[in-house]
Amino acid sequence: MAGLTEYLSESYNELKNHVTWTPWPEAQRLTLIVIIFSVLFSLAIWGVDTVFSNAIEYYFTLVKS
């Protein structure tokens, strides 16, 4: 148990004293960029999935007839 306490203490000390944190305005800007990119990428994947689903459905309609 002492090892866990020491690990947590050293981790906290490292984060507090030795890590350079991104300034808050830059973190907000980068977060917004990630959100926008994620939405655009998910819409692109949804579009490709819809096109392929329709193409496969059309193919099986032709084969079934």
Question: What are the tens digits of pLDDT across the range 5-19?
Answer: 999 999 999 999 999
pLDDT at 4 over 80: yes
Model pTM score: 0.65
C-alpha 45/C-alpha 52 separation (Å) is 11
Question: What are the tens digits of pLDDT across the range 16-59?
Answer: 999 998 999 999 999 999 999 999 999 999 999 999 999 999 99
The pLDDT of residue 36 is 98
Helix, strand, coil % (nearest 5) of the chain?
90, 0, 10
Give the residue among 25, 20, 23 at the shortest CA–CA distance from 33: 25
The pLDDT of residue 1 is 76
Both tokens of 19, joined, read 């890590």
Distance from chain centroid for Cα 44: 15
C-alpha 55/C-alpha 37 separation (Å) is 27
